[in-house]
Amino acid sequence: MIQDPDTVHVRYMVDDVGAAVSFYTTQLGFTLLTNFEPAFADVKRGNLRLLLSGPSSSAGRPMPDGRQPGPGGWNRLHLLVDDIEAEVARLHGAGVRFRNDVIAGPGGQQILLEDPSGNPIELFQPAGRWRSAPATAATAGPDGETTP
* 82/93 with CB nearer other proteins: 82
Is 123 within 8 Å of 114 (Cβ atoms)? no
Is 131 within 8 Å of 110 (Cβ atoms)? no
Is 11 within 8 Å of 59 (Cβ atoms)? yes
Stretch that binds other proteins, among 20-28, 64-72, 85-93 (CB under 8 A): 64-72
Query: Could you give the CA distance from residue 22 to residue 27 in angstroms, rounded to a whole number?
Result: 8
137 binds other proteins (CB under 8 A): yes
90 binds other proteins (CB under 8 A): no
76 binds other proteins (CB under 8 A): yes
Query: Could you give the CA distance from residue 19 to residue 89 in angstroms, rounded to a whole number?
Result: 21
Selected from 18, 19, 49, 114, the binder of other proteins by CB under 8 A is 49
104 binds other proteins (CB under 8 A): no
Is 17 within 8 Å of 39 (Cβ atoms)? yes
66 binds other proteins (CB under 8 A): no
95 binds other proteins (CB under 8 A): no
Residues that contact other proteins, how many (by CB under 8 A): 59
72 binds other proteins (CB under 8 A): yes
Q: Which H or E run contains 34?
A: strand 31-36
What is the nearest approach in angstroms of other proteins to the Cβ of residue 54?
Answer: 12
